[in-house]
Amino acid sequence: MSNEKNTEKTQKHYLTSKEIKAIAKENSKVMKALEKKKYRKAVESEFVTTMKDDKNILEIEDLHTYFFTDQGVVKAVNGVSFNIPKNSTVGIVGESGCGKSVTSMSVMRLLQGPQGQIYSGSIRFKSEEFKRDAKGNPIPVFVKDENGADTQVQATSSSGAPLFEMEEKVLDIAEMPISEIHRIRGRQISMIFQEPMTSLNPVFTIGNQLDEVVFIHSPGATKEMAKKRSLEMLELVGIAAPERVYNSYPHELSGGMRQRVMISMALICDPRLIIADEPTTALDVTIQAQILDLLRDLKDRINGSIMLITHDLGIIAEMADYVVVMYAGRVIEQGTVSEIFHNPMHPYTIGLQKSKPTMDSDSDTLFNIPGNVPNPVNMPSHCYFKERCSKCIGKCSGDYPGMIQVSPTHYVACHLYGEEEKNG
Amino acid sequence: MLKYIAKRLGQSILILLGVSLIIYILIRCMPVSFIEDKIAQMNQGGATIPEETIVAMKEMYGLQDDSFLGILKGYANWLGNLCQFDFGDSFKYGAPVIDIIKRDMGVSFAVALVATFFEFMIAIPLGITAATHQYSIRDYIVTILVMIGISLPSFFFAQILQNIFSLELGWFPFQGFFNASTDSSPIALFFDKCYHLVLPIVTVTVLSIGGRMRMTRTNMLEVMNSDYIRTARAKGLKERVVIYKHAFRNTMIPLVTSLAGLLPSLFSGAMITEQVFNLPGIGNTAYTAMMAADIPFIMGYNMFLALLSVLGVLLADLMYAVVDPRVKLQ
């Protein structure tokens, strides 16, 4: 890695042409290898694994996602590990540029290549796959007659989609070649994006874009079936005139309506995991509350999990079961929502809590954490928060602190708590 | 919609009037005169033309008065004839302008139509692959080849083709439209003509691919980076569907603008290419007429192109409404 070189010249404002060439050479070598891996043909056994804990739906372990830029390697996600248990909402908080969105993009494998690459780590996902016969076709489930024998009629789900036999498999998304990723994307993990205004294709009708998802993911779906399902979903997300919206183009809808459409698109295949990447940032507050209520209702209804990315602590407090706090590409603290809110341990989390406006404070000014996130190209080897931290101790100049367990669910990466852990 | 078209057509008439006035004044100000050339030719023959004959000739052609008012009078005269659908007779060819345009347009149109077809069929897929494989070896090769195509002057490239495929290899005829000996069946004559048009079509195609390919590539790159493409991928669509359905429909929107220029270019003829290959196309005819200061023909030809341009712009605007649902015409 060219990183050693970069750390030496930390305070330089420009790179010499020699250094730029060296970086470019190194980058293209690594990028080429990673791209090759991404487009390789792989047998399934290469990316089928097992879960560490069977209660989880997603386990991210030591994920490194890098961007190979002309200035050097940006380690946007630098060793992130956390789990998403079944039927729970995990909130990911942190300031802009801390790697929240890149983590979610890594899970969806939507990183802009060839610059953005998952460098190492694993993302294990418990996937529900179609059972396939020898020819590779999904095996349909047939309606049983009184004697228990199969009839020739294929069973359908409550929404009218034809049913197939399913099996559970654990897939390592980080190891999957990109040609296999459509098994997961959209059907099992779906994503709600931050910008509803630009996230829908302007030249197709809403109906067309919704039906498309049904067509890809349920084999044998007919046009009527897809339309029925789409209208059902539009109604589910609280759109009053689904038939009208179905035939509209995105530019004919308001921002809140478009986000509802995005949500219905994400939910149309009953995904096991919904990644909501700041789903309410672009919306006004009244719509925000409605959208969040909607997400919570839907989560229970389809029995899925939500990975909620936001920098709004209020949303986290309201929605999440577990919270992961990220800073500069690393997880610095994680725990249940009450542990994070009532007993924040990392100075950064404490600072975040303090900088939240409250109704009962008399102060005119809002607390802010001084300083900025360090330059992502030249990360120091000590704790990334050291320069901004008010509780620095001598040990902070040493190595990056490891994760310390303070309760069965609460972890923190800070030197302040290292000794306690050893004693306790 | 119909109201919109009618309104636009009404505006077009005003535009065409302005265009015709400007062109007429410019032609009359050209430093060549049909009469003086003719007299110079006669003088070379040894005869001396009396002054009153010259004046009479100028009067006959309507060129006696070169003052500004005289030019305007000439324009009014031309316009008056036009109102009776009379474009006048060509000085040079001695036949009605319309007839000559009709006679020569066929060859040019055939060349342009086939070349445009190939241009689109080659340039758009190239642009898409270059964009979807940005910064790859494929992208660089396509871009470099296309740059060469843009940079080559048509007379130079045409002559290289003539040299290689006609003189060296002898695969195709050097120039001309048909062999004089081929006066047999119409089918044989047709194939002979097609055979003669291969090299001109190749020339026009190769030179025009570049612009179209670069345009496709730029648009495609822009579209591929947009949020809705990310959404399409997140839905679980195969990359092929993402590119050819979601991205391409959006890339087409700016491509439609180029329709405005396409319509006149189909009929205008490739002036220099036709010259090099000595084809009896309208570009060649217009070039000769221009050199001879053939005012009625140049006026007729340019007005024909102006009309096509105006219609092309209208067509492009109408097509916008077809490919982009956000555009409403009123």
Cβ atoms B91, B40 nearer than 8 A = no
State whether A112 and B250 contact (CB < 8 Å): no
Residue of B nearest to A200 (CA): B228
A201 touches chain B (CB under 8 A): yes
Mutate to test the interface with A, among B140, B221, B231, B239 (most CBs of A within 10 A): B231
Residue B58 has pLDDT above 50, yes or no: yes
Interface membership of A176 toward B (CB under 8 Å): no
pLDDT attached to residue A4 = 45
- Residue contact A185–B324, C-beta within 8 A: no
* DSSP annotation of B53: H
- Virtual torsion, Cα A134, A135, A138, A139, nearest 10 deg: -50
B180: pLDDT confidence band, cut at 50, 70 and 90?
low
Nearest to A245 by CA among A207, A212, A208, A211: A207
pLDDT at A205: 92
From the CA of A168, how many Å to the nearest CA of chain B?
A: 19
User: What pLDDT is recorded for position A423?
Assistant: 40
Dihedrals φ, ψ of A368, to 5°?
-135, 150
Q: Note whether A91 and A319 are within 8 A (CB).
A: yes
Please list, residue by residue across B201-210, b when 16 or more beta carbons sit within 10 angstroms of its beta carbon and e when fewer do: bbbbbbbbbb
For B83-129, the DSSP string reads HTT---B-TTT-SBHHHHHHHHHHHHHHHHHHHHHHHHHHHHHHHHH
Residue A251 touches partner B, C-beta closer than 8 Å: yes
Q: Which of A198, A213, A251 is nearest residue B235 as measured by Cβ atoms?
A: A213
How is chain B split into domains, by residue range? 104-291
Interface of A with B in 288-327 (CB under 8 A): none
Closest C-alpha to B155, from B278, B305, B298, B261: B278
Q: Which two tokens stand for residue B134?
A: 């940005």
In angstroms, rounded to a whole number, what is the distance separating the alpha carbons of residues B182 and B168?
A: 24
Contacts for B260 with CB less than 8 Å, ≥ 6 apart: B309, B312, B313, B315, B316
d(CA B142, CA B131): 10
- C-alpha B187/C-alpha B189 separation (Å) is 5
Number of CB atoms found within 10 A of residue B235's CB: 26
The answer to whether B326 contacts chain A (CB < 8 Å) is yes
Using CA atoms, how far residue B293 sits from B56, B289, B328, in Å, is 18, 6, 45
Cβ–Cβ below 8 Å for A217 and B135: no
> Of the ranges B31-45, B71-85, B189-203, which one carries the lowest mean pLDDT score?
B31-45
**Helix axes B248-257 and B295-323, enclosed angle (nearest 10):** 160
Q: Which of B225, B227, B246 sits opposite A193 (nearest CB)?
A: B227
B242 part of contact set with chain A, CB < 8 Å: no
Residue pair B314/B5 in contact (Cβ under 8 Å)? The answer is: yes
pLDDT of residue B72: 82
Average pLDDT of span B84-109: 80
How far off is chain A from B159, nearest CA to CA, in Å? 42
Say what the pLDDT of residue A424 is.
35
Q: Chain A neighbours among B 87-146 (CB < 8 Å)?
A: 135
Residue B275 · residue B284 · CB < 8 Å: yes
Q: Within an 8 Å CB–CB cutoff, is residue A204 touching chain B?
A: yes
* C-beta of residue A58 within 8 angstroms of C-beta of residue A107: yes
B169 phi and psi, to 5 degrees? -90, -25
* Distance between CA atoms of residues A244 and A205, nearest Å: 11
Non-local (6+) Cβ contacts of B69 within 8 A are: none
Residues from chain A that touch B325, judged by Cβ atoms under 8 A, are: 202-203, 205, 249, 251
Q: Which two tokens stand for residue B56?
A: 């009479």
pLDDT at residue A325 in the model:
92
Query: Among B231, B236, B253, whose Cβ lies nearest the Cβ of A182?
Result: B236
Number of CB pairs, chain A paired with chain B, less than 8 A apart = 72
Q: What are the φ/ψ torsions at residue A65 (nearest 5 degrees)?
A: -120, 120
**B225 touches A at CB < 8 Å:** yes
Nearest CA distance, A264 vs chain B (angstrom): 12
The confidence score (pLDDT) of residue A7 equals 47
pLDDT of residue B303 exceeding 50: yes
Neighboring chain A residues of B233 at a CB cutoff of 8 Å: 110, 185
pLDDT averaged over chain B?
83
CA dist., res. A233 & res. A324, Å (int): 30
Biggest distance spanned by C-alpha atoms of chain B: 87
Cα dihedral: B232, B234, B235, B238 (round 10): 70
Residue A160: the pLDDT is: 63
Which residue stretches of chain B are H helix?
A: 2-28, 34-44, 51-61, 68-83, 97-132, 137-151, 154-161, 186-224, 227-234, 239-241, 248-257, 259-268, 271-277, 282-291, 295-323
Question: Which of B228, B249, B326 lies closest to A199 in CB terms?
Answer: B228
CATH architecture under which domain B104-291 falls: Orthogonal Bundle (1.10)
Interatomic CA distance for residues B315 and B60, integer angstroms: 41
Q: Tally Cβ neighbours within 10 Å of residue B183.
A: 9
Length of chain A: 424
Contact B228 A217 (CB under 8 A): no
Model pLDDT, residue A237: 82
pTM for the full model? 0.80
Asked if the C-beta of A177 comes within 8 angstroms of chain B's C-beta atoms, the answer is no
Comparing CA positions, the residue from A141, A125, A45 lying closest to residue A83 is A125
| A272 shares contact with chain B (CB less than 8 Å) | no
CB-CB under 8 Å, B135 with A201: no
Select from B226, B230, B253 the Cβ nearest to the Cβ of A110: B230
Q: Which residues in chain A are contacts of B232 at CB distance < 8 A?
A: 201
What chain B residue is nearest to A214 in terms of C-alpha separation? Answer: B235
With an 8 Å Cβ cutoff, are B249 and A201 in contact?
Answer: yes
SS3 B1: coil
A9-23, B82-96, B251-265: the lowest-pLDDT one = A9-23
Phi, psi for A58 (deg, rounded to 5): -140, 130
Residues 6+ apart with CB under 8 A from A321: A85, A88, A89, A90, A336, A337
Query: Residue B238's closest chain A neighbor by CA?
Result: A182
Residues of B in contact with A111 (CB under 8 A): none
CB contact under 8 A, A204 and B233: no
From chain B, the residues in CB contact with A112 under 8 A are 225
Q: Does B231 contact chain A (CB < 8 Å)? A: yes
Quick one: pLDDT at residue B171? Answer: 82
- C-alpha span between A337 and A353 (Å, rounded): 13
* pLDDT digit string, tens, across residues B94-103: 778 788 888 8
The tens-digit pLDDT sequence of chain A (424 residues) is 444 444 444 455 677 888 888 888 888 888 888 888 888 887 878 888 888 888 889 999 999 999 998 888 888 898 899 999 988 999 999 888 888 889 999 999 888 878 889 998 999 998 888 877 777 777 777 777 777 666 677 777 666 667 788 888 888 988 888 888 888 888 889 998 888 888 999 999 999 999 998 888 887 778 888 898 899 888 888 888 899 999 999 999 988 888 889 988 888 888 889 999 888 877 778 878 888 888 888 788 878 899 999 888 888 888 899 999 998 888 999 999 999 999 998 888 888 888 877 777 677 777 888 887 777 787 888 888 888 888 888 888 888 888 888 888 899 988 888 754 444 3
Per residue, what are the HEC states of chain A?
CCHHHHHHCCCCCCCCHHHHHHHHHHHHHHHHHHHHHHCCCCCHHHCEECCCCCCEEEEEEEEEEEEEECCEEEEEEEEEEEEEECCCEEEEECCCCCCHHHHHHHHHCCCCCCCEEEEEEEEEEEEEEECECCCCCECECEEECCCCCEEEEECECCCCCECECEEEEEEEHHHCCHHHHHHCECCCEEEECCCCCCCCCCCCCHHHHHHHHHHHHCCCCCHHHHHHHHHHHHHHCCCCCHHHHHCCCHHHCCHHHHHHHHHHHHHCCCCCEEEEECCCCCCCHHHHHHHHHHHHHHHHHHCCEEEEECCCHHHHHHHCCEEEEEECCEEEEEEEHHHHHHCCCCHHHHHHHHCCCCCCCCCCCCCCCCCCCCCCCCCCCCCCCHHHCCCCCHHHHCCCCCCEECCCCCEECCHHHHHHHHHC
- In chain B, residues with a C-beta closer than 8 Å to the C-beta of A114 are 135
Confirm or reject contact between A34 and chain B (CB < 8 A): no
Contact flag A198-B226 (C-beta cutoff 8 Å): yes
Question: Which residue reads 């796959």 in tokens?
Answer: A129
| Exposed/middle/buried for residue A135 (C-beta within 10 Å: 0-12, 13-18, 19+) | exposed
Mutation pick from B132, B134, B228, B238 vs chain A, by most beta carbons of A within 10 Å, is B228
Q: Is there a contact between B135 and A114 if contact means CB atoms under 8 Å apart?
A: yes
CA contacts within 13 A on the Cβ side of A316: 26
Query: Which of these, B173, B188, B318, lies nearest to B260 by C-alpha position?
Result: B318
| Amino acid B181: pLDDT | 63
Residues sharing a CB contact under 8 Å with residue A335, sequence separation 6 or more, in sequence order? A322, A323, A407, A409, A410, A411
Contacts of B175-178 with CB under 8 Å at 24 or more apart are: B175/B276, B175/B277, B175/B278, B175/B279, B176/B277, B176/B278, B176/B279, B177/B107, B177/B278, B177/B279, B177/B280
> Cβ of A226 under 8 Å from any chain B Cβ?
no
Of chain B residues 249-288, which have a CB less than 8 A from chain A? 249-250, 253
pLDDT surpasses 80 at B329: no
Nearest CA in chain B to A271: B235
